[in-house]
Structure formats: structure tokens, C-alpha cells
Chains A and B, each alone.
Chain A
Amino acid sequence: MSNTTQSTVSTGSTTAVSRPHSILAEYTTPADLMHAAEVVRDAGYKYWDVYSPFPIHGMDDAMGLGNSKVGYFTFVGGCTGFTAGMSMIWWMSQYDYPIVVGGKPLFSPLYAFPVSYEMTILLSAFGTLFGMAFLNKLPRWYNPLFKNKRFHAGAQNDKFFIAIEVTDPRYSETETRKLLESTGGKHIEQVEE
């Protein structure tokens, strides 16, 4: 954060030094937000996000988001589960404690399959959940945007926002503000850490 400016804000009786976190712009309709997102995307920003009270179809294209990477975590989880299930049954019934049941072979992938199948589903679900949390940098106690009064009141109600983080390589205090102004964003302000 070498290129960020430092400012002082008064919080109650003490004075704390605070760093900027992002620049926030407000929009009144989903269409405005969508067009603004296209402009920000084309300008080449990386660390930014849009906030809306409800999902907007086509927003992932407007933001230039690719396919989610969660699927890879799911796939790896599933493969691990299947292999673990098969090896567990093999180890238990062929190696560790062999007992002949119903004249069946000591190990057959057939009767190991239901367990492997359940393990595949379980570990796929774990992969999905924890992969999602990892990619979203969760768990996280606090987001600086919550401190902003306009954001707090509007993002869950009837307003639409774009926040560009100051850590973005293309961020510039004047140019980014101009860009957001050109898209019709209102109440453009800096949000502090």
C-alpha cells in the first residue's frame, strides 16, 4: 500500500490514523450498475466488486468473471472420497480382518461401491463448501464497507454499489474517481479501513 494516502479521522474522543480501503460509487438501477460494471471491467481493474440487494442475471459477464473455480475443489474432494472409500473397505475386509460372508470374495468393488459412493458425495460437499470459503477468503470478521452509512442502508434495500479497492494495480485516487463519475455513479467516496 505504498501509493495510498493516509488521513486522520476522529472516532469518538480519540484520534486514529486510518488507511483508505476502497472507493465506493452508488447507482440507482440495476441497469446503471450493469453498464458501470462493463466500463470498470474494460478499464482492466482486478480487485473490485458490485453489491446489489438481489442477483442480477448477466452480471458475471458484465464483470468479466469466468467460470467459478469451486468445481476443482469439488472434483478433488470427490476423487479423494471415492479412493478413500475403496481403500478403506479393501483394508478392512481383505487385509486387516478377512471374513468370508455369503460365499462372496473377500474384496469386490461391487460391495465397496455404496460406501465409496457416499464418501464421494461427502467429500465433494466438503470440497465445495471449504473451497468456496477459501476462494471467498472466509471466514472474515469484518468488511470495511459495513462502516459506510450509505452502503449499510442501501446495499440490502434499494441501491446498487461498485467498490474498487485501493490495492488494485490500476487504482489512482483521481483517475478511478473520474472513471466512476463517467459511469454515472453518485456519492462517490473513499471508504476507510
Chain B
Amino acid sequence: MASHAKEEVATLKLAPIWSKLPLILTIVGLVVGAAAFLFNKDHGKQLAYSYLTAYMFFLSLVFGGLFLVLIHHLFDAYWTVPLRRIIENLAMLAPVMFLLWLPIVGFAWSDQIQLYPWFFADVHTDHALAAKQPLFTRQGWVIMITACFAIWTFLAWKFRSNTTGQDRDGSSKWTFSNRVHAGYGIFLFAFSGTFLCFMLMKSLMHQFFSTMYGVYYFAGSVWLTYGTLYIIAMLLHRTGPLKAVVTKTTFHDIGKMFFAFTVFYAYITFSQYFLIWNANMPEETFWFIRREAGSWYGVGILMIFGHFFLPFLVMLRQDAKRSIAVIGPVVALAWVIHYMDMQFNIMPVLHKDGFVLHYGDIGCMAFIGGILAMAWLKLFKANPPYPQKDPRMAECLGVYVPPAKGSMAAAHLGIK
């Protein structure tokens, strides 16, 4: 098996300033959030929407992380082996996201905030709501979201415990187990991801129909995750833990996927808009008409150019995908643009006349980002930074390891 793995693996060591940063962000975010609640004189309505926006932004990374782990096992990929601890631990933030969802439950129930207006609508007079029973009831909302997080947590925990199990004994049974869980997991993932995004974000305007909405959120999420993965892998490569196992080709491959999802997002977003534009039905068009009011129109244009044309043209060349000097700024752009995308989806419910950047928005980003960074660092440091005895590791590094005599692989190949 992959016995060439180094005996001593460099662990992640952060400079004091960096290791304290997540905690500082959390505290600052908490203070700013409290200020938005106290001084905004709207019973926390602005805070609730700011929180939901930041929440949906960071949920993207967990969503994308779980997807990357699933397709890694589904396709029996080898190039993502050294990166797997990064994405496994991103997926493992699912239970943290469940806890961070609890304030949203409070905002949704509050009479003053009314985060989801349909919570307070009368089902007998609202046809759109009656048509969506029993899913769009308070109980339905809570049960669906809890079930989705239960699925994500189970899958993420299974993949993570399998990979740490393989670190101990190097048995291939863990790999086979991962394949089984990824097989049915991708279906559960697709349904739960769609439902989560329907319940949390699309139901803000509950009359809206779009079967593509889940894929639309998915495309943006995976786009953001590949960009973030590029930067995390680059940092871990430069500072040591992944120095020996991540190569130039690995970055080229992440860059390709980042580029691919730039195109996929544009394709999905355009298709959703185009079908609604062409069909021209009031049940669907009202959603976009609201988003053409005031400066929201400009945000829509920003999506076309910032989410597609600019990153597409910048990353088109082969050498651009290998260069951190090019990809770094594109990832920074991706963070801003994906946040603006979440604003575009959520905020027109509150700010009807145009985009407003409230300090509560920034506070909520800092708060959730800080908590998730702390959790991720704790999860990541608990184990070696890359899988130690994964059978695909040698392949990834371009090393040929002949099957050992009497091993399972040798028996399979008929070697005696």
C-alpha cells in the first residue's frame, strides 16, 4: 500500500495573529450585530436579513465542500486525494451550521421581524401558500431543514471517520465504504440541498416558482468553494503541510473546475432568467421585476459581468489557471460577487428601492465567518493534513507502487 507516506507530517502552524483572528472576528461581529439590533429601531429586522444573507453565503462553502467529497468518491478520483481533508472538514461544518440556523428560527417566529412573510399569511386567502401545503407550514419548514442538516451531518461524519480510520490501519475497506455512502449520498445531497435553499432563501417570496433555483444556488456555491479551495490549498502548500503532496498540476486542475463552474453558473442563471422572460407569467416575473427596481438593476448587471464575463475571460488561458497572481484576485472577486448574489436574492424583500450596505451585513459576515473558521481549524488540526494511507495517493503523486504479494489488489489482478 502507500507506505511511502512520510512518518512525520508537518501540521498546520499559524502565526499568533492569524490564530486569534477568527475569535476577534466573532467578537467584533457579535458587537456590531448587537449594535444593529439596538440602534436600528426596527426590532432587529435589518439584523435578521443581514444574518440570513451571511448565513446563506457561508452555507455555500459547506454545501460545496460536501459536494466535492461526494464526487471525489463517486468518480474514484485521485487528484483530489491530498486536498480531501480540506473539503471533508468544510462539509463537517454542517452541524455548526445547524446551530447557527437556530437564530433564524427566532427571527422567523418573531412577530416584529416576520423574516418569512408567509409565516404570517392566511392559508385560506393566499392561494400560492395553499398550493404549497404541507411543505410551507411552520412545522414543515422546521422538519425539512432539520432533516436536511441531519443528512449532511451524517454523510460528512461518515466520510470523515472513514478517512481517519484509514489513517490508522490503511485498510481498503474504508475506501469501499466511502463509495457506498457516496452512491446514495449524491441523491440525498441533491434533494436536501434543493430543499434547504428553497426553504431558507426562495421562500422569502413564497409565490415564486423556479425548479432551477436549487441548481442556481448549487452552481454559485461550488464556484465559491473551488475558489476558496484554491487559496486554502495554496496557503497550506506554501506554509508546509501540503508541500510534498500538492503539485502545480493540482492547482491547474482546481483552476479548471473553478473555470468550469464560472461557465456552469452563467448557463444556469441565464436559463432560469430566459425561461421566465420568455414565458412571461406574473407568478414568476414578479420576482425579477422586484430585482430591477432602483440600484438592484445595477446589481443584476454586476452579476452578468462580475460572475461570468470577467472571471471567464481572465481564467480562459491555461497559464492563468496555474498562477496565484491571477487566481488570487479572481477568488477575492468571487467572495464579493457571491455575497452580492446572496444580497440580490434576499435583500430586495427588505430594501425594495435598491441595494443598501448596512453595517449589520458586515457584522454578520464577521460573526459567522469567525465561528466557522474556528470550527474548521479545530477539525483540520485534529488529524494529519492529508490522507496518510489512501490507496490512490501514490497515483496522485505519479509514483508506481507494485502490488504487494498476497495483497487484495494482487489477488484481484491475478498476481501470485
Q: Are A75 and B316 in contact (CB under 8 A)?
A: yes
Which residue of B is nearest A74, CB measured?
Answer: B316
Give the residues in chain A near B277, CB-CB below 8 Å.
110
Query: Complex formed: what's the CA distance from A110 to B398 in Å?
Result: 47
What chain B residues lie within 8 Å of A104 (beta carbons)?
Answer: 278, 280
A110 touches B319 (CB 8 A): no
Select which of A75, A102, A113, A114 is within 8 A of B280 by beta carbon: A102
CB–CB A71/B278 < 8 A: no
- Docked pose: A58 CA to B278 CA in angstroms: 50
In this complex, how many residues of chain A approach chain B with their Cβ under 8 Å: the count is 11
Is A11 interfacial (CB-CB < 8 Å)?
no
A71–B398 touching, CB < 8 Å:
no
The range of chain B's interface size is 10 to 19
Contacts A57-B398, A102-B280, A103-B280; A71 near B274 (Cβ below 8 A)? no
Q: Is B318 on the interface with A (CB-CB < 8 A)?
A: yes
- The chain A residue sitting closest to B316, CB to CB, is A75
- B318, A113: Cβ atoms closer than 8 Å: no
Given contacts A57-B398, A103-B280, contact A67 B318 (CB under 8 A): yes
> Closest residue to B277 on the A side, CB-wise?
A110
Decide yes or no whether A146 CB sits under 8 A from chain B: no
Residue A111 CB within 8 A of the other chain: yes
User: Complex formed: what's the CA distance from A51 to B411 in Å?
Assistant: 35
Q: Which residues of B contact A103 (CB under 8 A)?
A: 280
A86 to chain B, nearest CB (A): 14
- How near does chain A come to B98, taking the closest CB pair, in angstroms? 40
Q: Is the CB of B280 within 8 A of A67?
A: no
Q: Determine the chain A residues whose CB is within 8 A of the CB of B273 once the complex forms.
A: 110
A75: chain B residues at CB < 8 Å are 316
Which residues does chain B contribute within 8 Å of A111, judged by CB atoms?
Answer: 274, 278
A67 proximity list for chain B (CB < 8 A): 317-319
Which residues on A sit within 8 Å (CB–CB) of B278?
102, 104, 110-111
Within 8 A of A (CB), among B234-285: 270, 273-274, 277-278, 280
Within 8 A of A (CB), among B23-77: none
Q: Compute how far the CA of A113 lies from the CA of B278 in the bound complex, rounded to whole angstroms.
A: 12
Task: Determine the chain A residues whose CB is within 8 A of the CB of B274 once the complex forms.
Answer: 110-111, 113-114
CA distance A71 to B313 in the complex (A): 13
Q: Are B319 and A113 in contact (CB under 8 A)?
A: no
Bound Cα distance from A75 to B273, whole angstroms: 26
In the complex, per-residue mask of A120-156: 1 if CB is within 8 Å of any chain B CB, else 0:
0000000000000000000000000000000000000
Q: Which residue in chain B gives the minimum CB-CB distance to A103? A: B280
Residues of B contacting A113 with CB < 8 Å? 270, 274
> Closest approach, in angstroms, between the C-beta of A85 and any C-beta of chain B?
14
Cross-chain contact of B317 among A57, A71, A110, A114 (Cβ < 8 A): A71
**Would you give the shortest CB distance from A100 to chain B, in whole angstroms?**
13
Closest B-chain residue to A57, C-beta based?
B398
B270's nearest neighbour on chain A, judged by CB, is A113
Residues of B within 8 A of A71 (CB): 316-318
In the assembled complex, how far is the CB of residue A76 from the closest CB belonging to chain B, in whole angstroms? Answer: 13
Q: Which residues of B contact A110 (CB under 8 A)?
A: 273-274, 277-278
Give residues 288-311 of B contacting A (CB, 8 Å). none
Sampled A-B contacts (22; CB under 8 Å): A57-B398, A67-B317, A67-B318, A67-B319, A71-B316, A71-B317, A71-B318, A75-B316, A102-B278, A102-B280, A103-B280, A104-B278, A104-B280, A110-B273, A110-B274, A110-B277, A110-B278, A111-B274, A111-B278, A113-B270, A113-B274, A114-B274
Q: A75-B316, A104-B278, A111-B274 are in contact. List 18 more A-B contacts (CB 8 A).
A: A57-B398, A67-B317, A67-B318, A67-B319, A71-B316, A71-B317, A71-B318, A102-B278, A102-B280, A103-B280, A104-B280, A110-B273, A110-B274, A110-B277, A110-B278, A111-B278, A113-B270, A113-B274
Instruction: List the 7 closest pairs (A to B, CB-CB), nearest first.
Output: A67-B318, A110-B277, A110-B274, A67-B319, A113-B270, A111-B278, A102-B280
